[in-house]
Each structure stands twice: as structure tokens, then as C-alpha cells.
């Protein structure tokens, strides 16, 4: 049975234990990073020993304070935490290498906003209607900890990122109220916006161009998809971190109701990103391949060749578009 715990229960848990490990999902984005570092900063303020487990991320996220809490992956074996907090992870496998710490930690907390979340924690705070995990953390921390500029910056960054600059339909009055309150801490909101949405490297711009060269519209332009192979990323000197903006660019094409982007992370490992308008459910589509996310933004991984992965996706899309 899927049951949520109260904010008070989870915060009391933090108060009662000293060493707390915090992890976000693989290939962390602004919400995962913001959530992990905001919670780390808050717990440190409470006098706790804090360890953050995050994969390396792009420099665009360096505006988020608290990076010094992140432990290198080769040091994971040294961790002996009392509490493990998973943030922005719809399922256990999204934690990557941090799952080894999750498995050996007795007390496990799961805080997330994905509707596909599996309530895998001993303690869970899951709200699929929240704009972001950082919005949930704001609700958890606002009356329990004295917020400061660094914590507010991290929380605001996560909210801003996952709402696409307050453009996605997940943005609610409560979301905007949270952002407004966080702005009172003199956060660098303009820099956060510019770093997240305006500035892209030359390599990113080149790979976006290739993605549009590869793009194909179907069903009278209602569906648009594109692919990037591993060899193409190598050609442009890109990594998988450089292709994150492509799905949003595809979705922005006029007339597109459903967008799909596939890229090879490594041989026979194809990552799939999905976005849609009202009337579709890409979370349901992603779940066919063991993925998940939100109704309008989801993803999955297909362990096969690009050709076969694309064929499988197109077969499912055909059923949706008919």
C-alpha cells in the first residue's frame, strides 16, 4: 500500500540521527542537484554529518551552493550512514552506484515528485502534483530550519529548472509563492536563469543542429522524433550531458504534440526522452520500457541497438496516434 509520511515525521527522523547520506538520480539535473545540496546545507546547519552522492554534472549547475558535500564515487565504500535520503528518484535503479549505500542503510527516506514513484522507502514523501522535488523540500524545511541565501538558492534553482522557467503546467500558485519567498533571500535568480536556459556551449549548439538534421515529423507533424548516435557525439566532441536540451527544442517546434529524442549513451544502451501536450501520457509510454516520470515529461532506457530501440518506440507511438 502506498502511504506517505508527514513532513514532521521525516524531519524528526533527521533530528534523531547524526550521519545522513543523500543521493539524487543518475545524470543529475537542476532539481536533483538543488534538492540534494539544499538538504545537505540545511542538515549541516542542524549539526549533522552529511554525505551527498551525485554523479559529476555540468558547470551550468555550479551556481548551486554546497558542492563540497559531494563525495567522489571511489569513496562510496567508506560511507556508514544511519539514514539514506533518495531525492528526485522515481525508482531505486535511478540512483546508480549509490544503490549500494541505499541497500546497506537501515533507514531509507524517499522524497520525490514523479507520479511513477514506487514508494520504495521506509519513509516516503511523494507528491506527483508538485512541480519539483525542491518544492517538496521547501515545504519540509520552511518552518523547521532557518533558511538562508545558500539554501534558498539551491531550492529556487531546482524549482526553476523543473518548471522550465515557470512555463510547464506543473507550475502552480503554490510553486510561485515558494519561488517568491525564496527570492527574498537575495538569491542570484538572474544568473540561475541565464546559466540554465540561455547559455550553451559550442558543442551543445552543434549537436542540437545535428539533432534537427536527423529529425523526422510524422502524423502530419504532430509527432517529431530525432536520434543521436554515439559516433555522432564523438564527432562533435560531446558527452551525454550535452544533449539534455534537445528534447525541449524538439517539443518547441510549432505543431508538435508529442516529441521523442533517443541517444546512445553507450553501445546497446539507448536513452529515450519524451515530452507531450495535453491529451497524451508519455509516462505510460515510458513505462512500457521500464521507465517513468510525469504525464507530460518522461523517459526510459532501452538496452538494444539504436535501430531496434527506435522501431520499438515508433510501434508504441503508432498505437497512440491512431
What would the mean pLDDT of 252-266 be, rounded to a whole number?
A: 96
Q: Is the pTM of this model over 0.95?
A: no
Tell me the residue length of the chain. 322
What would the mean pLDDT of 221-229 be, rounded to a whole number?
A: 97
* Model pLDDT for residues 19-56, shown as the tens digit of each residue: 999 999 998 999 999 999 999 999 999 999 999 999 99
* Model pLDDT for residues 172-192, shown as the tens digit of each residue: 999 999 999 999 999 999 999
Would you say 161 and 135 are in contact if contact means Cβ atoms under 8 Å apart?
Answer: no
Neighbouring C-beta atoms of residue 49, cutoff 10 Å: 13
Which domains does the chain show, CATH number per domain? 7-198 (3.90.1640.10), 202-321 (3.10.310.30)
pLDDT of residue 2: 75
pLDDT of residue 114: 93
* Model pLDDT for residues 272-304, shown as the tens digit of each residue: 999 999 999 999 999 999 998 889 999 999 999
**Mean pLDDT over all residues of the chain?**
95
pLDDT of residue 236: 92
Strands, E, within the chain: which ranges?
19-23, 49-53, 83-87, 107-112, 123-126, 216-218, 223-228, 258-266, 269-276, 292-293, 297-302
CA-CA-CA-CA torsion sign (273, 259, 283, 59): positive
User: Which of 245, 183, 176, 170 lies closest to 209 in space, CA to CA?
Assistant: 245
For the chain, what percentages of helix, strand and coil (3-state, to nearest 5) are there? 45, 20, 35
pLDDT of residue 1: 56
Amino acid at each position: 500500500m502506498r502511504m506517505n509520511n508527514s513532513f514532521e515525521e521525516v524531519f524528526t527522523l533527521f533530528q534523531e540521527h547524526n550521519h545522513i547520506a543523500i543521493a539524487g538520480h543518475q545524470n543529475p539535473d537542476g532539481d536533483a542537484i538543488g534538492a540534494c545540496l539544499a538538504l545537505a546545507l540545511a542538515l549541516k546547519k542542524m549539526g549533522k554529518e552529511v554525505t551527498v552522492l551525485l554523479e559529476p554534472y555540468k558547470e551550468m549547475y555550479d551556481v548551486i551552493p554546497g558542492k563540497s558535500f559531494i563525495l567522489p564515487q571511489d569513496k562510496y565504500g567508506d560511507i556508514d550512514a544511519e539514514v539514506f535520503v533518495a531525492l528526485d528518484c522515481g525508482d531505486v535503479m535511478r540512483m546508480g552506484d549509490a544503490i549500494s549505500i541505499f541497500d546497506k542503510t537501515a533507514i531509507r527516506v524517499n522524497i520525490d515528485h514523479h507520479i511513477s514513484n514506487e514508494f520504495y522507502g521506509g519513509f516516503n514523501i511523494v507528491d506527483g502534483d508538485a512541480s519539483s522535488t525542491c518544492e517538496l523540500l521547501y515545504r519540509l524545511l520552511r518552518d523547521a530550519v532557518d533558511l538562508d541565501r545558500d539554501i534558498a538558492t539551491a531550492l529556487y534553482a531546482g524549482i526553476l529548472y523543473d518548471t522550465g522557467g515557470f512555463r510547464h503546467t506543473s507550475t502552480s500558485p503554490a510553486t510561485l509563492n515558494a519561488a517568491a519567498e525564496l527570492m527574498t533571500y537575495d538569491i542570484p535568480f538572474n544568473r540561475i536563469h541565464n546559466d540554465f536556459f540561455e547559455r550553451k556551449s559550442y558543442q551543445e549548439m552543434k549537436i542540437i543542429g545535428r539533432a534537427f538534421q536527423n529529425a523526422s515529423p510524422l502524423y502530419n507533424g504532430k509527432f517529431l522524433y530525432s536520434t543521436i548516435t554515439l559516433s555522432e557525439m564523438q564527432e562533435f566532441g560531446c558527452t551525454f550531458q550535452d544533449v539534455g536540451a534537445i528534447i525541449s527544442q524538439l517539443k518547441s517546434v510549432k505543431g508538435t504534440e508529442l516529441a521523442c529524442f533517443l541517444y546512445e549513451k553507450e553501445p546497446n544502451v539507448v536513452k529515450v526522452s519524451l515530452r507531450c501536450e495535453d491529451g497524451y501520457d508519455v509516462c505510460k509510454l515510458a513505462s512500457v520500457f521500464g521507465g517513468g516520470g510525469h504525464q507530460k515529461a518522461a523517459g526510459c532506457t532501452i538496452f538494444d541497438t539504436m535501430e531496434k530501440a527506435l522501431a520499438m518506440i515508433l510501434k508504441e507511438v503508432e498505437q497512440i496516434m491512431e
